[in-house]
Structure 1
């Protein structure tokens, strides 16, 4: 279970959407990559164009959330703290990052989850 995607790193089996993709780790990772590393700090001091601006991004997208979750998933420090995998491999049986990314995209594209996905995107874009 990838608890790191949940707010407070707590999974609610009665309500799997509760806090899903709301973790501080994901928010900080998103800011670091798409706005600037200094945007994670209390006093931003970025001097270069942000990735979001460079790529014409005006809002958080489902794909960008999946990307950040996968990047955090692949972070060597986080990866090895969450798994028992002794070596890094893109498609090891414990942490297949491509499968992880695709499963998030499938969830976001599931018509039955549309309301929850819209609420999630609203939360990210507030």
Structure 2
């Protein structure tokens, strides 16, 4: 059976054909992505079990007390006063994963496959006349790619300091 949703949205990347909602939106990658964005990259490493989430809040309290006088960085959920997971926050993370698929291919062959897929979409939506607009040159000038280059250059410059 073909899944309607991407496999990464399912627990163990699969579902029960007799109960298609079983495991949906419980995928490990989805949970890790959510925790990395909203609570902290470190918290994303621990997703096993049915914890009540108090560990994230409690760990942050301990960090604040342990480093009294030292400013402790708050995680996004604290900054935006997020107290519970919402459908939109789950969808946001699922969308981020999809965006990363297109914008951060892991190599030249993956990049070529993304280019071909985007060309296919452009042809399907706009026809052949706009196909060349997604050339590597055009994509290289997109602000998101320029931002990646700028951040990389700044990071490299930081490590090059004496």
Question: Aligning the two structures, in what range does the TM-score lie when normalised by the shorter sequence?
Answer: 0.5 to 0.7
Q: Deviations over 1:80-122 (max 9, x none)?
A: 589x532686xx47xxxxxxxxxxxxxxxxxxxxxxxxxxxxx
Residue 16 of structure 2, aligned match among 12, 15, 24: 12
Residue 85 of structure 1, aligned match among 82, 93, 114: 114
- Distance, in Å, in 2 between the alignment partners of 1:67 and 1:87 is 25
Residue 96 of structure 2, aligned match among 71, 77, 80: 71
TM-score (norm 2): 0.45
Point out the structure with max Rg over C-alpha: 2
Contact kept? 2:32, 2:45, Cα under 8 Å:
no
Give the 3-state SS of the residue equivalent to 1:86 in structure 2: helix
Q: Which moved more, 1:7-16 or 1:23-32?
A: 7-16
Question: 1:53 aligned to 2:53?
Answer: no
Contact kept? 2:10, 2:26, Cα under 8 Å:
yes
Greater RCO, 1 or 2 (C-alpha within 8 Å, sep 6+) = 1
Question: What runs of 5+ residues in structure 1 fail to find an aligned partner?
Answer: 94-126
Give the 3-state SS of the residue equivalent to 2:8 in structure 1: helix
Q: CA deviation at 1:56?
A: 1.4
Q: What is the alpha-carbon root mean square deviation over aligned residues?
A: 3.2
Contact kept? 1:72, 1:78, Cα under 8 Å:
no
Give the 3-state SS of the residue equivalent to 1:16 in structure 2: coil
Other-structure match for 1:40: 44
Give the 3-state SS of the residue equivalent to 1:74 in structure 2: helix
The structure with the greater share of residues assigned to helix is: 2
Give the 3-state SS of the residue equivalent to 2:33 in structure 1: helix
Contact kept? 2:8, 2:27, Cα under 8 Å:
yes
**Matched residues, number:** 89
